[in-house]
């Protein structure tokens, strides 16, 4: 990663200053600001252009959760009862919006936006609680599936490579 730094000082003119700086110094004689030659700073720990595999894998699993939640919300739509219209509309709406929020979180994770980490982690912790409530009886497989998915997402998010990728500023539009 290369960063160009331009500094200003209030001493005399630098012999390598640009014409822009000379013109600026000429306009502001009273304060006598002068530009110095731009320097180049190179960083060895430049941000990678791609997210690390554990973070991408976690994001894919979050998308799976999002699709399942939104799909469940859509499956609930035909079951709307006119006598309980408010409940019949808000429940599917909740699941569809929850799925959309998780999908957005997955997108931002892939883009290495660290602000997406907390909501996605919170969703996984909630999912672990839901899995715990499904344990026992015929729903044990559902509990194992929910808990396994949540644990895999948490492992992917808290993997050292993912933590490093989320601790750097996100790349621009190209990365």
Spatial distance between the Cα atoms of 56 and 49, rounded to a whole number of angstroms? 13
To the question of pTM greater than 0.85 for the whole model, the response is: no
| pLDDT for res 31 | 53
The band of 141, judged by pLDDT with boundaries at 50, 70 and 90, is very high
Structure tokens given for 97: 């919006």
What is the domain partition of the chain in residue ranges? 2-42, 53-167
Q: For the chain, how far is it from start to end, CA to CA, in angstroms? A: 13
**CA-closest candidate to residue 50, choices 127, 110, 4:** 110
The band of 10, judged by pLDDT with boundaries at 50, 70 and 90, is very low
């Amino acid at each position: 990663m290369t960063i160009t730094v331009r500094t200003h000082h209030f001493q005399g003119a630098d012999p390598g200053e640009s014409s822009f700086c000379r013109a600026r110094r000429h306009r502001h004689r009273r304060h006598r600001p002068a530009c110095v030659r731009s320097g180049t700073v190179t960083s060895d720990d430049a941000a990678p252009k791609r997210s690390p595999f554990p973070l991408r894998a976690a994001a894919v699993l979050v998308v799976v959760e999002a699709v399942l939640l939104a799909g469940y919300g859509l499956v609930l739509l035909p079951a709307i009862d006119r006598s309980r219209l408010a409940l019949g509309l808000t429940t599917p709406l909740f699941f569809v919006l929850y799925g959309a929020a998780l999908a957005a979180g997955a997108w931002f994770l892939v883009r290495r936006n660290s602000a997406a980490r907390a909501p996605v982690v919170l969703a996984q912790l909630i999912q672990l609680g839901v899995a715990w409530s499904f344990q026992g009886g015929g729903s044990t497989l559902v509990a194992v599936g929910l808990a396994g998915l949540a644990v895999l997402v948490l492992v992917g998010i808290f993997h050292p490579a993912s933590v490093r990728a989320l601790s750097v500023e996100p790349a621009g539009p190209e990365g």
